[in-house]
Amino acid sequence: MRVLITCGDPNGIGLELLLRAMSEGALDQFDAELILCAPPTVIAAYIAALGDDVIACVEGKRLIVGTRVMTIGTCGDVVYSPQFGIPTPESGAVARAALEYAARSMLTGECDAIVTLPVSKEALQMAGFPFPGQTEFFGSVAGVETTMILACDLLRVALVTIHVPIARVAAKVTVEREIATLERFARALREDWLILSPRIAVLGLNPHAGEHGTIGTEDERVLRPAVEQLYARGLDVRGPYPADGFFAREHWRSFDGVVAQYHDQGLIPVKMLAGGRGVNISAGLPIVRTSPDHGTAYDIVGTGRGDYRSVVAAIEMALYLARNRKQSTQHVSL
């Protein structure tokens, strides 16, 4: 297995967490080739800025941390001086170059999975990046619609809308989008998690799931028809459920996955359950793509206070899903 890891925003915490995970042996468990996608000069400058906290060096196209070696997938070379803790056009340009390298590798089949370290959407926009997020970027490059899933050992949640202002969410929740999200989620559960007959719950958009139209009409007018259509076609999907009671009473334990209508509705419960080991997954892409469940953490980069468990979990999940997908594909071909 070959896993490509993008460097993310080099003014943020992603590279620091990866280096710390390497130095403490947290990546030794993985039987795979890990390739870090970043300009070598950026990695070297980042290491220098960390001082003696992480003993590492760059030799040609190799990153060496103690006795551990990781290949560097070079995405150009730039003169770069880290400015920890702030988004800049330069840091956005580095993050963008790494993403574009990863996208080319995805299209050419040069890797089995991609792990993207955290980026700053502000810095990317400074660098002319025309997408609201990494999920949307990879979907556009691959020419497919994608669904964002956040997962941990206990819970998997797919989102109908992602980086959309709350004032525009309701207009984005349509029967067609709901059905497409459910179908992609079900396919991911079957092919990537090997759950042959997934059971999926749908959360309501409004408080109390609209309470039969008295608190908004979308749940009865949009969500319920989508659920009923797919259930009639053989997909075990139920809902819509009031989100607060669904999680408070732990009804999620009876399902293989949950569909949330907007970002915070789904991500808050997963992150609380994950305990620092949540993973972001892009369903619908031709290869597996995962990411840690946190951002650039500008406020603590360079302090040594960051927790690398989500980075390690993202690599672990990428390998797990890629192997499952390969097994699923082989089974179908037979």
Q: What does CATH list as the number for 1-144+282-334?
A: 3.40.718.10
Report whether pLDDT(75) > 90: no
Q: Which residue has the higher pLDDT, 87 or 52?
A: 87
Sequence ranges of the domains in the chain: 1-144+282-334, 153-274
Q: Could you read off the pLDDT of 179-224 as tens digits, one per residue?
A: 999 999 999 999 999 999 999 999 999 999 999 999 999 999 999 9
User: Strand pairing of 62-65 and 68-73?
Assistant: antiparallel
What is 153-274's CATH number, 3.40.50.1100, 3.30.499.10, 3.40.718.10, 3.40.50.720?
3.40.718.10
113, 85, 78: which is closest to 6 by C-alpha? 113
1-144+282-334 and 153-274: same fold? yes
The CA distance from 31 to 198, in Å, is: 29
Q: Could you read off the pLDDT of 92-104 as tens digits, one per residue?
A: 999 999 999 999 9
Report whether pLDDT(333) > 50: no
Q: What is the pLDDT of residue 334?
A: 44
Q: What is the pLDDT of residue 282?
A: 96
Q: What percentage of residues in the chain have a pLDDT greater than 70? A: 99
Mean pLDDT of the chain: 94
Q: What is the pLDDT of residue 107?
A: 93
Question: Confidence class of residue 330 from pLDDT cuts 50, 70 and 90?
Answer: low
Mean pLDDT confidence for 221-229: 98
